[in-house]
Each structure stands twice: as structure tokens, then as C-alpha cells.
Amino acid sequence: VVGPGVTVTLDDADAPDPLPDGLTGDDYIVHQQDVQGVVNALWRSGASGVTVMGQRLISTSSVRCVGNTVILQGQVYSPPFVISAVGDPAAMTTSLDNDRTVSIYREYVDLYGLGYLVRSESSMTIPPFTGTILPSVATVPATVTAPSRASATPSTSGSGS
């Protein structure tokens, strides 16, 4: 997919040492819901293609967070997390501005110094999805034999066997 779009960069903050009372290291890192919130806002705005860290997202893509890394289609990525989308930059920027999850993230940007940068681009390319969409491991046996009714019936003899 080629066209105008936006690139959003999310980055961890530098946590002070020692941490202020009531805060943890988790308050200073980008989380799965932050990346997912940006992705959802971009799709909602009508984006025709979205990538996270250069990988094209499809309907079965899953962005998962492990610590301060993101796992996407088996690859592990560290911040800064770069999300790009082709579509109307004004519509995507408005969608990001109005999205509740992104708004919460932006509050943390202001409070703790997390990174948030939105850049409009006149032309960008979203590459095709390169993974597989068909199962490659699961198989169905050629024939399945159900147990016979006799072998599934409990014993009625008095011996308990």
C-alpha cells in the first residue's frame, strides 16, 4: 500500500533513581495497550494499511508485551516502537487525538516523560504481509474412530470391575 500517512513513535521514559513514592518502573515504559491503542485509532480512522516495527498487520496479528518489549509475529522488538499507517493524515491525527486509550498514554507522556511523536508523511509504503495465514502444524486425522458403546458402558457386575 502506497500513499500519504502518519508515523507514530512511542518510547520509554528515563526512570529516576530512586523512583518517587507510589511509582514503579512500569509507569515509565510503553505497554501493549499503548501500542494497541495507537493501532486501533489508526484503523478506526480508515487506514488502508498499518505496520508495527515495519511488519504489516493483518486481522490475525497480535501485538503482545513482555516486560518492555513487544512480540509481533514471533519477533521481539525493543522501544522505541514505530507504528506507521497509510491513509488520510488529518483523519488519523484526529482519531489519535480523540482516542481514550491514546489520551491516557499522552497523560503519562506529560507526567513521566514517555515518548510520543506523530509525524505526517506525504508518501510512504506499507509492505505486504510476509507471514503465513494458513495453519502449518495442525492436522486432522484421515479417519476418526469413536469408542464403541460397549466399551464406554460402566460395569454392572457386583465386583466393581
pLDDT tens, 80-113?
999 999 999 999 999 999 999 999 999 999 999 9
Helix (H) or strand (E) holding 81: strand 81-86
Helix (H) or strand (E) holding 75: strand 75-77
- The 10s digit of each residue's pLDDT in 110-147 is 999 999 999 999 999 999 888 777 666 767 677 766 66
Distance CA 144, CA 4 (A): 53
154 band by pLDDT with thresholds 50, 70 and 90: low
Please give the average per-residue pLDDT across 34-62, as a whole number.
94
Handedness of CA 64, 62, 101, 76 (dihedral sign): positive
Grid coordinates belonging to 53: 516495527
